[in-house]
A and B are shown apart, each in its own frame.
Chain A
Amino acid sequence: MFMRTLSLAFLALSLTPAQAVIRVDINSGIAQPLPIAVPGFVATAPGTTEAGSTADLGVRIAQVIANDLKSSGLFRPLDPAAYTTQVTPDDVMRPQYAAWRTVAAQALVTGNVTVNADGGLTIGCYAYDVFSAEELARQGFVTTAAGWRRAAHKCADLVYSRLTGETGYFDSRIVYVSETGPRTRRIKRLAVMDQDGAGHRFLTQGQNLVLTPRFAPNQQTLTYMSFEGNRPRVWLYTLGSGRQEAIGDFPNMSFAPRFSPDGSNLVFSMSVGGNTDIYRMDLGSRKLTRLTTQPGIDTAPSYSPDGSRIVFESDRGGTQQLYVMAADGSGQQRISFGEGRAATPVWSPRGDLIAFTRLGGGRFSIGVMKPDGSGERLLTNAYQDEGPTWSPNGRVILFFRSARGGPVNLWSVDLSGQNERRVATPLDGSDPAWSPLLP
Chain B
Amino acid sequence: MVTIVAIDGNGVAIVAVDGNGVALIAVNSLVPKVIDVKEAGPGGACSARKVFGMSQRFASLSLIALTAVAISACATKKKDLPPPPPVVGTVVPQTTAPVDNGSVPPPAMVGTTVIPGSAADFVAQAGADHVLFGYDSYELDEDARTILGKQAEWLARYPAVKVTVEGHADERGTREYNLALGDRRATAAKNFLAAQGVDTGRMSVISYGKERPAVDGADEAAWAQNRRAVTVVAAKP
Contacts and interface: CB of A to CB of B under 8 A. Distances in A.
Interface string B181-193: 1011001100100
A145 B46 CA distance: 50
Given A184-B212, A299-B180, A387 B207 contact: no
Interface in A198-225: 209, 211-212
Contacts of A142: none
Interface string B206-237: 11100111111110000000000000000000
Interface range on chain A (Cβ under 8 Å from partner): 35 or more
Contacts of B181: 297
B138 interface: yes
A279 to B, nearest CB: 13
B187 to A, nearest CB: 3
Contacts of B183: 253, 271, 274, 276
B194 to A, nearest CB: 11
A74 B171 CA distance: 35
A343 B207 contact: no
Contacts of A357: 174
B179 A320 contact: no
A386 interface: yes
Given A232-B179, A253-B206, A274-B138, A186 B211 contact: yes
Contacts of A265: none
A326 B184 CA distance: 27
Interface range on chain B (Cβ under 8 Å from partner): 20 to 34
A405 to B, nearest CB: 4
Nearest to B232: A230
A364 B177 CA distance: 14
Given A276-B183, A404-B218, A256 B138 contact: no
A357 B171 CA distance: 14
A184 B215 contact: yes
B172 interface: yes
A184 B180 CA distance: 19
Interface string A305-322: 000000001010000100
Contacts of A405: 217-218
Interface string B140-176: 0000000000000000000000001000000111111
A343 B172 CA distance: 12
Interface in A329-344: 343-344
B26 to A, nearest CB: 10
A384 B175 CA distance: 11
Given A183-B213, A183-B216, A274-B187, A297 B175 contact: no
A320 B177 contact: yes
A92 interface: no
A25 interface: no
A362 interface: yes
Contacts of A211: 175, 179, 211
Interface in A319-371: 320, 343-344, 357, 359, 362, 364
Given A271-B183, A431-B175, A232 B206 contact: yes
Nearest to B222: A405
Interface of B: 29, 34, 138, 164, 171-177, 179-181, 183-184, 187-188, 191, 206-208, 211-218
4 tightest A-B contacts by CB? A274-B187, A405-B218, A276-B180, A271-B183
Given A183-B213, A184-B216, A253-B183, 14 more contacts: A182-B216, A184-B29, A211-B179, A211-B211, A231-B206, A232-B206, A232-B207, A253-B206, A276-B180, A320-B174, A344-B174, A359-B173, A387-B175, A402-B171
7 contacts: A183-B216, A269-B180, A274-B187, A297-B177, A299-B180, A344-B175, A386-B174
